[in-house]
Amino acid sequence: MDSYMQDSLLNAYVADLGLSISISNRAKHGVFGILPYIAPEVLNGKQFTTKSDIYSFSIIMWEILYGTTVSYIHKLNEIDLQLQICDSLRPPVNKEAPRCYVNLMKECWDKDPEKRPSAGKLCEIFKKWQDNEDIYLS
């Protein structure tokens, strides 16, 4: 990770690295992005919202937890994979992962965008975790 993506206390930051395009450049009904990060509602043709970003963040949470990128190892074509993601396909989670982290990650990738937490709520939760080393043991 580049030094500008961490502060002096080694806190990491998630940033848009310019791999996406601006909303103004999108086609009205087009879907853009890397498939595992695209929220199910967007794949279903609904409007992209901040809740869609929360879904994408949940995939980043999974990648941070396991130290690898999400790869659905299915012999599916892209359309079938999209349908399975819309029908709740998510990356696997092992039992050794910290429950509080896993529960939050699953809340963020909920099929229903209204059940996902806001970015503000995520910041509150992460701040609380940062101040409590024992939180990861539960």
- Mean pLDDT, range 91-97, rounded to an integer: 91
Q: Can you give the residue ranges of every domain in the chain?
A: 34-131
* Average pLDDT across the chain, whole number: 82
Residue 125 reports pLDDT greater than 60: yes
23-48 per-position pLDDT tens digit: 554 445 566 678 899 999 999 999 98
Residue 79 reports pLDDT greater than 60: yes
Superfamily grouping for domain 34-131: Transferase(Phosphotransferase) domain 1 (1.10.510.10)
Residue 3 reports pLDDT greater than 90: no
Q: How many CB atoms within 10 Å of residue 35?
A: 13
Retrieve residue 132's tokens: 């409590």
- Of the candidates 43, 27, 46, the one whose C-alpha atom is nearest the C-alpha of residue 35 is 43
Higher pLDDT, 19 or 134: 134
- Give the residue carrying structure tokens 């941070």: 64
Residue 75 reports pLDDT greater than 80: no
In this prediction the pTM is 0.80
